[in-house]
Structure 1
């Protein structure tokens, strides 16, 4: 039996390509219409404690008639929507968007809400907004961001806090050397773990370094006990953990790595929790329990038995820290080198 190969003509190929292009254009039009001009540009505050209700203000463009907020993870429900007055003057943004409208609602955070980042969109009838994010912490939250610019920029003026707290802070745009200092009681041998979220909670990035912060731990004389700028775990967001060497006071300094003339928001987690930096092995076979060695804590390495999710892919492991390690759920068992 002879086989006949039909070769399309140039016109037929052109017609097929035009049809495919038309379908892609229609699909893009449908998606664009679904999202429309509804843009979330700012969500304030950026963080809330699990088990609490937080009043949240969302700012953006064409967001004044929300029906509901759709969260991509379980644990948070938005209630009590209220339209706030428009900003007196709209704020233009470098990516050609702007902020004009604002709404207020309450985020009810369940006691067992997953920690970390919670993406969401606002639904407006048949349309949805661009993506917004909100973060959940295990610690109580205090707001330091409304202070005067020179309120806590020296050891003498350091803001007193208790351990196991998340501080919402802000570095202003006016001073090249602006720092924020916080004072914590120290006890010899006690662990102090400090993490800064800034890049991870920023509203937008334009290639500058305004969200690239550094942290230092200082003794009562201002001598440096520990410091971090960048690290493999959080990249540009600093993290440091140490065993305190004396009884008394220690100071936590937050500052920019590189000056940029913009306000910089951050969340500072100050705790006594363990802070591993690396897990080995970095995961295991899906649906099993795996003994994982956690490395990098100042008190030494330790082991945890971790349940590996049934679904393959990356998953977050928090332990008792405010931020996670990324582990892998694999369809295959581990083979480890001695």
Structure 2
């Protein structure tokens, strides 16, 4: 027995690996109140050695992390008194990796846990201005009772799908003591698939709030706010100029509209003003309504930009009623399609040659309008128009054809309208913009390999993709705010490319640690404009297969960590020969294993230049140490020096570990030789010759072998030797008496050679 224990101990000492690939399933409760500390349970897998909790936004910090077990751990989290309300993002850092990104909410009210009623008990009694954290069982309804005075507002908000965990559809109703419904809600434009209900109490009464799944299924997690807070459906104008104070009208259908000042703070990062259709909830800028000292848990989305507001002036339902704006472009036109059939017209001046991205901000700000815009001449004749362009909000790229007056027409696609059909149309000068992101590594999965997790003495690859607007040129990429000990290797991204592979390498003595950093891109070259950008990454938190994404969030940072060493590495034996058009090049990948690790390692090619093909992945079998990848270049392969790397994946202690080879150069060149075969004719039993004229395109050392491939049945030939100076060769063809008769078009030449230790081939 002692001998067995001793042997196992020796094997264990060969490599010491922390639990890789930690997972974070959820937090409970899903939020807390500013100025308070909250014990939160983190449901995890493989996170027993958690060292840090990473928050993406300021105002939240860790007070204490309690000891973890196989299922999770509890931590004391503090929200500062000035902590921003709304969604916050979080992930865990362990000694073995980074978890998925999850979300939680900071709300204005104390949090109360739902208590399942005992048989015969009535609804759970709660005070106004309380947040309840709970779940609804299948075919069940959660009920809560609140005492409300006559004339007092009672509002209910639900965060369910916005928690980013489950595809659950909540429905809420408010009933008086007689059982009559006074307000109800299912889906809302303001909160996507989450709901809210609000009303004024007609008498002193005990009201019951009922929450259920819309089809009486289960709600696996929710946060419900019950209180006297205002719950407007929209805000007008729908945005403001950065740094300016705006009088905003909150449109409240229950208690009446009210006005509140909003300071349009300058966005904290460039992404906030990027405004592409593909980025709907950029940086979560919101105006939080407040009444009688009570603030709403959720704000109304607003747009902050560098442009001054121009507000509609009624009547403006026709081109003749459109009033000329005295504010020169660029501006932001704001209005409300106030009733069905309404349309708004604006008049403005512009100068020839001005170029604008004309963007509508409506659905992105949770307005119900499905906009259609028309840019017209001064008499109302349409010059450009758009309904949807990558989303329900309209977009037009417009160049002013001549100096003069022009008009803008806005309407709803179905001619609907209402008091909360707000919109904002920005005339944005065309300018260069840049951001970076990590593309998805699997279908319906926006979490895997979206961080930089590098084991000590090892490497990790990342595919980086650039979003460019209105500029070209090479980009230099680099790390920002990375922990010590990590080096980033990446080529410049060429002007005609949008994607490349970067490799991150950790020193063997790099400190275990990490945090949230950035990867930046900058235009380089002589006389280059000052164009730069960083990470702007989406996370699709709730999706339903090919039916689409129901809730997503965005971040402007990337998780970075140095972790404990892994029991394997992989490397490329760097090619010394080029890959040529119509050629092949073998690439050897070698595994370096720690003693005791013999598992299979999957090796996968990441990014390929145009014209290069290869097997998507190859396994290094258990106990083996190398495989050979074969690169194939087609006849139109892009001639360049490409930087490539392979991803290595293996199971370590039941979880997936990732490593990378070094970033290796690969020269792609023109053909070694091109050949032209002179047609030949013969009869059965009579030999002939086949002449091939050769032209050297890429010089090569020594001799190469050329052979005929595809000869008809009954004919044979020999292999011939050529050098870079050979101009023609003639193959002797032996023809048997029973050789197949006919016109044979399948004959071609194959060149092969030993080039710098590589067995390369090419089709002539």
Shared fold by TM > 0.5?
Answer: yes
**Alpha carbons of structure 1 residues 169 and 204: separation in structure 2 relative to 1, 3 Å:** closer
Q: Tell me, what secondary structure is at the counterpart of 2:162?
A: helix
- What are the Cα deviations for residues 117-154 of structure 1, in whole angstroms up to 9, with x where unaligned? 1101212348422112221111111111x5258676xx
Contact 1:82 1:104 in 2 (8 A): yes
Contact 2:21 2:98 in 1 (8 A): no
**Post-superposition shift, 1:83?**
2.9
Contact 2:190 2:233 in 1 (8 A): yes
**Alpha carbons of structure 1 residues 151 and 232: separation in structure 2 relative to 1, 3 Å:** farther
Structure 1: 4+ residue segments shifted above 6 A: none
> Which residue in 1 is equivalent to 2:159?
197
Q: Count matched residues.
A: 275
Q: Tell me, what secondary structure is at the counterpart of 1:69?
A: strand
Quick one: distance in 1 between partners of 2:310 and 2:96? Answer: 50
Q: 1:283 aligns with which of 216, 239, 259?
A: 239
Quick one: distance in 1 between partners of 2:147 and 2:129? Answer: 12
For the aligned residues, what is the CA RMSD?
1.9
Q: 1:267 aligns with which of 216, 223, 228?
A: 223
What TM-score results when the alignment is normalised by the length of structure 2?
0.35
Q: Does 1:322 align with 2:325?
A: no
Structure 1 unaligned spans of 5+: 1-35, 87-100, 206-210
Q: Does 1:226 align with 2:183?
A: yes
**Alpha carbons of structure 1 residues 50 and 151: separation in structure 2 relative to 1, 3 Å:** farther
Quick one: distance in 2 between partners of 1:47 and 1:277? Answer: 23
Contact 1:274 1:297 in 2 (8 A): no
What TM-score results when the alignment is normalised by the length of structure 1?
0.77
Contact 1:56 1:106 in 2 (8 A): yes
For 1:137-152, list aligned pairs within 5 A: 137-144=107-114, 146-148=115-117
Q: Tell me, what secondary structure is at the counterpart of 1:200?
A: helix
**Alpha carbons of structure 1 residues 202 and 75: separation in structure 2 relative to 1, 3 Å:** same
Contact 2:21 2:96 in 1 (8 A): no
> Which residue in 2 is equivalent to 1:133?
103
State the structure with bigger RCO (CA 8 A, min sep 6), 1 or 2.
1
**Post-superposition shift, 1:180?**
1.3
Q: Does 1:79 align with 2:63?
A: yes
Q: 1:161 aligns with which of 117, 120, 126?
A: 126
> Which residue in 1 is equivalent to 2:41?
57
Q: 1:69 aligns with which of 47, 53, 68?
A: 53
Q: Tell me, what secondary structure is at the counterpart of 1:80?
A: strand
Structure 2 unaligned spans of 5+: 1-19, 274-281, 290-294, 314-764
Quick one: distance in 1 between partners of 2:119 and 2:88? Answer: 33
Contact 1:202 1:265 in 2 (8 A): no
Quick one: distance in 2 between partners of 1:149 and 1:236? Answer: 31
Q: Does 1:39 align with 2:23?
A: yes
Q: Tell me, what secondary structure is at the counterpart of 2:310?
A: coil
**Alpha carbons of structure 1 residues 150 and 258: separation in structure 2 relative to 1, 3 Å:** farther
Q: Tell me, what secondary structure is at the counterpart of 2:183?
A: strand
Q: Does 1:307 align with 2:263?
A: yes
